[in-house]
Amino acid sequence: MTLTRDFIAFLSFTAMVAVYHCKADRPSPPTGLSYRWLDSFTVNISWQKPSRVLDGEVEYKISLMKNGTESSNWKTKSRYFRVNCLTEDIGSDHCTIHISSVIGGGDSEKESVPVPINIHTLKPRVEVKDIRCLVSFSLKGINCSWIRGNQPVKLFYRGCGLTEGQIKPLQCNETYSTATRDGCYLQDEFFLNICLLMDTKDGMRTFMPALEILPPELRVKEEGDNLQLSWTPPETGLRSCWEYTVCYKQCKEFKQCLKFSGNENGDEQMKVAYDKRCRYDFQSKVTNTDHCPKIFSSFGDIVTYGTDEPPDETLTVVAIVVPVLLSLCIILSCYCFRKHSSILCPIIPDPSAIFKEMMMNGNKELKPTTGTLYKPMPEPIEPCKITLVTENSSLQENS
């Protein structure tokens, strides 16, 4: 009897410790997790209440995991949750969601270990190449096209919302084909928060498209020493969201790219110093800053201004003719110099030879060696006629 009583006492003690332990530590996790697809985008996950907690005192934390880390989380008191699981967001064939129970709040909040659930997509992901979706704000329309593959693609769309009324994808019917691409034009009031489904026989692709707009059209005009560029912002209310990039070439050479944030009113403007001898090529694009919906444009058509002046011809003349003339002069003067060198510059006697000769002549008699030495011409000798003069004879005879 005492043994049974002791045993019961022991059991109740352990149970009490266990309960106390649970209350002081983490709550137990939710159980019986399951999911059901509501359409190709949205899945409904449900679970059961963990043991030993009351419905009103427990909350659940739902975490969407991406590559092993939490990418976003939500809290709810219900025992189900709707979430979009898009093939382009997960990079695999399933979404991973962690659900944990949470009790208390603030500093005394306690969370259970998370329970993971892998949600497999309805169809495997298919490759669709170069999807581009051009959005028109004024028409509230999106023109999506892609490179045609082996299988025909059907495009469905709806706003990405999770409420009952929103979960009904519509098929895009305004389809078209060009030489290499297929496309479809769709109109939707949720066009900034739209989910697309590309459905083929073997697979599918679900995603929120990157929305592309047409690049701003540049206008260029001359203003004094500058070129003034202006353009009209894209047709939305989010003017401060835009960031513009303008790149330009000056005289065929890339000069620079400049960035501008959108301003609240008026057209956008920029100035560039204008060298009138150059042609300018401008190109622009626009993107949205980080905290705004992802919208971008590619670079637009090139807008040109001015003409490249042909290189200065007088300079070319100077650069070619002057050296030619100069060398001609030098050649001519060389020629002249050679021809008349005897006049311009007689042979200069070697000073050492003169010295040697002087030394040798100091000992010997000077004897004529060549006929070229100076020979004085014989002077004409007048015969002297001496006549005796008498004292009285006149001097008239000799004069």
Ligand X SMILES: *[C@@H]1O[C@H](CO)[C@@H](O)[C@H](O)[C@H]1NC(C)=O
Binding footprint of ligand X on the chain (CB under 6 A):
143, 145, 176, 183, 185
CB-nearer residue toward ligand X: 138 or 265: 138
State the nearest-atom distance from the C-beta of 209 to ligand X, in Å.
Answer: 14
CB-nearer residue toward ligand X: 27 or 183: 183
Q: What single DSSP character describes residue 241?
A: G
CB-nearer residue toward ligand X: 139 or 322: 139
Beta strands in 86-140 (DSSP E): 94-103, 110-111, 115-120, 129-136
Short-list 213, 191, 187, 218, CA closest to 296: 213
CB-nearer residue toward ligand X: 143 or 236: 143
State the nearest-atom distance from the C-beta of 176 to ligand X, in Å.
Answer: 6
State the nearest-atom distance from the C-beta of 157 to ligand X, in Å.
Answer: 15
CB-nearer residue toward ligand X: 124 or 152: 152
CB-nearer residue toward ligand X: 138 or 369: 138
For residue 66, the SS3 value is strand
State the nearest-atom distance from the C-beta of 316 to ligand X, in Å.
Answer: 48
Q: What distance in Å separates the CA atoms of residue 278 and residue 276, rounded to the nearest whole number?
A: 5
CB-nearer residue toward ligand X: 96 or 143: 143
Burial class (CB in 10 A: 0-12, 13-18, 19+), 359: exposed
State the nearest-atom distance from the C-beta of 185 to ligand X, in Å.
Answer: 4
State the nearest-atom distance from the C-beta of 296 to ligand X, in Å.
Answer: 17
Distances (CA, A) of 221 to 277, 306, 308, 397: 16, 10, 17, 120
Q: What distance in Å separates the CA atoms of residue 45 and residue 82, rounded to the nearest whole number?
A: 6
Phi-psi region of 183 (alpha: psi -120 to 50; beta: other; left: phi over 0): beta
For residue 169, the SS3 value is coil
Q: What are phi and psi of 139, to 5 degrees?
A: -90, -5
State the nearest-atom distance from the C-beta of 72 to ligand X, in Å.
Answer: 33
CB-nearer residue toward ligand X: 185 or 305: 185
CB-nearest residue to ligand X:
143
State the nearest-atom distance from the C-beta of 182 to ligand X, in Å.
Answer: 10
Burial readout 14-33 (b: 16 or more C-beta within 10 A, e: otherwise): eeeeeeeeeeeeebbbbeee
Q: What distance in Å separates the CA atoms of residue 287 and residue 304, rounded to the nearest whole number?
A: 23
Q: 3-state SS of the chain: helix, strand, coil percent to 5?
A: 20, 40, 40
